[in-house]
Amino acid sequence: RRSNTNKNIQAKLVLLGDMGTGKTSLVLRFVKGQFSDYQESTIGAAFFTQVLSLNEATIKFDIWDTAGQERYHSLAPMYYRGAAAAIVVYDITSSESFERAKKWVQELQRRGNLNLITFLVANKVDLEEKREVGKEEGELYAKENGFSFLETSAKTAQNVNELFYEIAKKLAKAA
Ligand code: GDP
Ligand code: MG
């Protein structure tokens, strides 16, 4: 039964993190339910919308996937301006990507938007045998910095819908 307090929320969501960590793959898994081992690097516009319905609210996500400018940190402020939520992604098989994720976390914190919903996401957990970054390490760093944390696999779909539902729930609560 639809309650009369059902809210319609439109929210900009941005993905940040090093090239190759699986940002586009996570979005395509969520939006299209698909995965490709040969995901082409994102060039040009990368904008997706997806609607999630909760009991208490309907959330329309405007998802901004980084379009190959991951290396250019100076573009970031323009890119995440007006965002309600930010997902910083690293790849558990790459310590380097974790170090770069920390840079993004720090940059978002310098901006000091207390209302921003922030997630640190450790992707590619299906590649356990190649793991370089421990779960506890990621979890602890997230916690220390006030980020929520999830380990995901765009390939197997592990925790991907959960990630976007968690964000939707936080948005509904904040609205
Ligand atoms: P982006 O540059 O951050 O957008 O990363 P992409 O989504 O383009 O992914 C980079 C590469 O990693 C592609 O070859 C993907 O198929 C692969 N990839 C992405 N997510 C996963 C995952 O969860 N597991 C595995 N095994 N590979 C992944
Ligand atoms: Mg991409």
Average pLDDT estimate for 68-90: 80
Confidence of residue 39 (pLDDT cuts 50, 70, 90): confident
- Share of the chain residues as helix, strand and coil, in percent rounded to the nearest 5: 40, 25, 35
**What distance in Å separates the CA atoms of residue 38 and residue 19, rounded to the nearest whole number?**
14
Q: Which atom of ligand 1 is nearest to the CA of 25?
A: 7
Average pLDDT estimate for 136-153: 98
Among protein residues, the one with the nearest Cα to ligand 1's atom 6 is 22
- For residue 150, CA distances in Å to 7, 79, 91, 136, 159 come to 26, 23, 12, 11, 7
pLDDT at 81: 86
Six token digits for residue 143: 């916690």
Q: Bigger pLDDT: 99 or 79?
A: 99
CA atoms within 13 A on the CB side of 89: 27
Q: For residue 22, report the distance from its CA to the centre of ligand 2, in Å.
A: 7
- For residue 90, CA distances in Å to 53, 71, 133, 149 come to 28, 14, 9, 11
In the predicted model, is pLDDT for residue 155 greater than 70? yes
Global pTM exceeds 0.80: yes
Predicted confidence (pLDDT) per residue in 117-134, tens digit? 999 999 999 999 999 999
Confidence of residue 79 (pLDDT cuts 50, 70, 90): confident
- Ligand 1 environment, Cβ below 6 A: 19-25, 36-37, 39, 41-42, 123-124, 126-127, 153-155
Confidence of residue 113 (pLDDT cuts 50, 70, 90): confident
Radius of gyration, CA atoms only, the chain: 15
Give the ipTM.
0.99
Six token digits for residue 141: 């760093």
In the predicted model, is pLDDT for residue 4 greater than 60? no
Q: Can you give the length of the chain in residues?
A: 175
